[in-house]
Amino acid sequence: MMDSWWLFALNCLGLGAITLITRAFFMFPEREVPMPHWLKRGLKYAPLAALAAVIAPELVITQGALIQTLLDARLPAVICATAYYFWKRGILGTIVVGMAVYLPLHIGLGW
């Protein structure tokens, strides 16, 4: 039976190998892998979908439950950041505006 140190090391090596293989998989073939057009088109939206899946719950859930009040600093920050994005179409500015609204409300007012 392996002790916990060897089991931990084996897990780390296995996870590292899996990560390396899956992230470098696109570099193995010598030519582009043929994909159907619908798959290529769908893969364009994968990063956006992943980002939305991570951020959306964070905006409306606190400690495993839906927010119960509108006095939550995240809501005005999202509204302002979204408005900025549709106005200027800049990601960095969107982040800055969102944080510039969120931090004073959260830290200063305790929302």
How many other CB atoms are there within 10 angstroms of residue 100's CB atom?
A: 13
pTM comes to: 0.59
Does residue 1 register a pLDDT over 70? no
Cα separation, 111 vs 74, whole angstroms: 9
Please tell me the predicted confidence (pLDDT) of residue 79.
94
To which H or E segment does residue 61 belong?
A: strand 61-62
pLDDT, one tens digit per residue, over 44-101 is: 888 889 988 998 898 888 888 888 888 889 999 999 999 999 999 888 999 999 999 9
CB 111 within 8 A of CB 72: yes
